[in-house]
Amino acid sequence: VEEFERIASLQARLQASIVTQPPREASQTPLVKVGIGDDAAVFTTDPETDSLVTTDSMVEGIHFLPETLSWYDVGYKCLAASISDIAAMGGQPTVAVMALAVPKDLPMAALEAMYDGIGTLAARFGCQVAGGDLVGTNGPVVITSTVFGSVPKGSALLRSGARCGDILFVTGALGGSAAGLELLTGGGVLPDDERAVLQGLHQRPLPQITAGQILRECGASSCNDISDGLASECNEIAHASGVRLRIEKSRIPMPPAAVNLARWQRKDAVAYALYGGEDYQLTGTAAPLAFAAALARCESVGIRLTAIGRVESGDGVVSEAPDGHLEVVEPKGYNHFS
């Protein structure tokens, strides 16, 4: 939330400077249709396709520690965050560039491992790594991915399309990444196989490109990827769409191993899903018929799509407590290691 407010205020400044200063050397200006404030920016220079662009940075000590991610995972996960933003728009990632700031004494093997993680994920989605920048730093490693994508013109899934009566859905299962992080930082004990599942969900989340494209083709009304936790993402949709989202917490799908860890830790398992972040699944809304069509297509390709609530008039995100009272689901974000 704080990040969003800062960016919104800075973006207002940029818009002002764009408006007040006439371009002196511009020969061709693309139309930015959707700027800061959605998962990716949408712009157009071509009559049939909208272009998407998104950028994500990860910082050593803030977003990862040696015990939570290998260097391979660092490269993989930074690119995954950007590809996931393209997924949330229903797009296809096409080209990526990577920028790395690394200490001079970082072993070449660490750099190679990061690039292997990047290359493996990029290849999986047919996204080409077109270039990069590599600079020295006296501080922690900072890795930045920028991914370019495309969608058929006018069809990008935004956060702002949710309408009363729509179904609220999520793809996959949520909370695995947060549970995996808890295990990796020394919290809790689980059998090895369950531990491996949760750590894998934290270290190598899979962006939901196919799900996003199905949702777009079936006419979903809004979509967001789950980078900061379901509570935060749903609040963004509610705010952008001017509606209220009602979540039925008991319907949120979670990996069984995360539920086991919560029991061991004497925590409420659903907190991993609501406030954990970095699952890189999708959440969004669709009218009932569009949802049914998407559900059928997702089932046919092995993607789990689950209705977890509905869209109402009002604002914010609410959930019904066991006693029947409504409680507000605050947009608490993911607080890395800070």
Q: Does 160 bind a second copy (CB under 8 A)?
A: no
Find, among 42, 112, 129, the residue nearest to 74 by Cα.
Answer: 112
Query: CB under 8 Å to 337, separation ≥6 — which residues?
Result: 61, 62, 63, 65
Smallest distance, a second copy to C-beta of residue 329, A: 24
> Is the four-CA dihedral 207, 208, 212, 214 of positive or negative sign?
positive
Task: Fill in the amino acid letter for 110.
Answer: A
Backbone φ and ψ for 258, nearest 5 degrees, come out as: -70, -35
Smallest distance, a second copy to C-beta of residue 193, A: 25
Residue 172 DSSP one-character state: S
Residue 166 DSSP one-character state: P
Smallest distance, a second copy to C-beta of residue 32, A: 5
Q: Are strands 92-102 and 142-152 parallel, antiparallel or unpaired?
A: antiparallel
- In the complex with a second copy, the residue whose CB is nearer, 53 or 196, is 53
Q: How many residues bind a second copy (CB under 8 A)?
A: 88
Q: Give me 27's structure tokens.
A: 């020969």
Q: Print the binding letters for residues 48-67 with a second copy: x by CB under 8 A, - otherwise.
A: -x-x-xxxxxxx-xxx----
Q: Print the binding letters for residues 207-246 with a second copy: x by CB under 8 A, - otherwise.
A: --xx--x---------------------------------
Site for a second copy in 95-134 (CB under 8 A): 95, 97-101, 104, 108, 111-112, 115-116, 118-120, 122-134
Smallest distance, a second copy to C-beta of residue 293, A: 19
Site for a second copy in 276-295 (CB under 8 A): none
Binding-site member from 71, 72, 76, 148 for a second copy (CB under 8 A): 148
Site for a second copy in 6-35 (CB under 8 A): 6-7, 9-11, 13-14, 16-18, 20-30, 32, 35
Task: Fill in the amino acid letter for 2.
Answer: E
Binding-site member from 94, 155, 160, 260 for a second copy (CB under 8 A): 94
Strand ordering across the sheet containing 167-171: 222-225, 282-286, 167-171, 305-312, 244-247, 316-320, 326-328
Distance between CA atoms of 126 and 251, rounded to whole angstroms? 34
- In the complex with a second copy, the residue whose CB is nearer, 28 or 192, is 28
Instruction: Quote the distance between the C-alpha of residue 200 and its chain's center.
Output: 17
Site for a second copy in 174-213 (CB under 8 A): 209-210, 213
